Amino acid sequence: MSEEYLDIVDENGNLTGEKELRSVCHEKGLRHQTVHIYFFRKVQDDFELLVHLRSKDKSSHPNRWDTRFGGHVETGQMMDEAAEREIKEETGLDLKIKDMTIGFFGTYQSKDGGNKEVTQTYYYNFNDDLDTLSFNDGEVQDVKWMSFDEIERSMSASPDIWSGSVNGLNTTKEDLLQKTK
């Protein structure tokens, strides 16, 4: 598979008219677009997220648990299209944006400044059996349901086994609670 080109954007997600290879974006700290899709379910008065163990072969955060599916928005693609594509690639589900709840739009920068992203978040209320998911792209090793409290405790106790942070988790939790009232 050849490396994809990404559109370069400003801090508000506006296209600059430039594009670059994904590796160059990360190497030079060029801001680009990503999408994150959280699978959730309501259990009594709480929410659980479907977390997955990333492949050992992933270039970023290999062998770490992740709370979201998603990826990069390729050149010429809209964020909604990228979300649909990523879900199909990563889970085998043929979801449309109308099936999801649109979440917050945010920015991210890695500690070393090498990765700058603007991200659109989506939520999908998944109540089917986990057997309906297919992980054929090799990006996912395992999945399991965890409550926000369980994830937060695990992230606090063992941050090196997670690809995200407690701060990011809390932002997601607040947004999901507000969007699903």
For residue range 132-167, list pLDDT tens digits in order.
999 877 778 899 999 999 999 999 999 999 988 889
Residues 123-132: what's their mean pLDDT?
A: 95
Residue 103 sits in a domain of what CATH number? Answer: 3.90.79.10
Residue 160 in tokens: 């090196």
- Cα 11 from Cα 164, distance rounded (Å): 21
Residues 83-102: what's their mean pLDDT?
A: 95
Q: Do residues 48 and 147 touch, judged by C-beta distance below 8 A?
A: yes
Residue 101 has pLDDT above 90, yes or no: yes
Q: How far is CA 122 from the centre of its chain?
A: 9
Residue ranges making up the domain that contains 44: 5-179
Residue 1 has pLDDT above 60, yes or no: no
Which residues, at least 6 apart from 160, have a Cβ–Cβ distance to it below 8 Å?
64
Q: How confident is the model over 71-82, as pLDDT tens digits? A: 999 999 999 999
Q: How confident is the model over 20-77, as pLDDT tens digits? A: 999 999 899 999 999 999 999 999 888 999 999 987 877 677 789 999 999 999 999 9
For residue 102, the cross-strand partners are 122
Counting the structural domains of the chain, the total is 1
Count CB neighbours of 24 within 10 A. 14
Residue 31 in tokens: 């801001």
* Residues 25/28/33/39 CA torsion (nearest 10 deg): 90
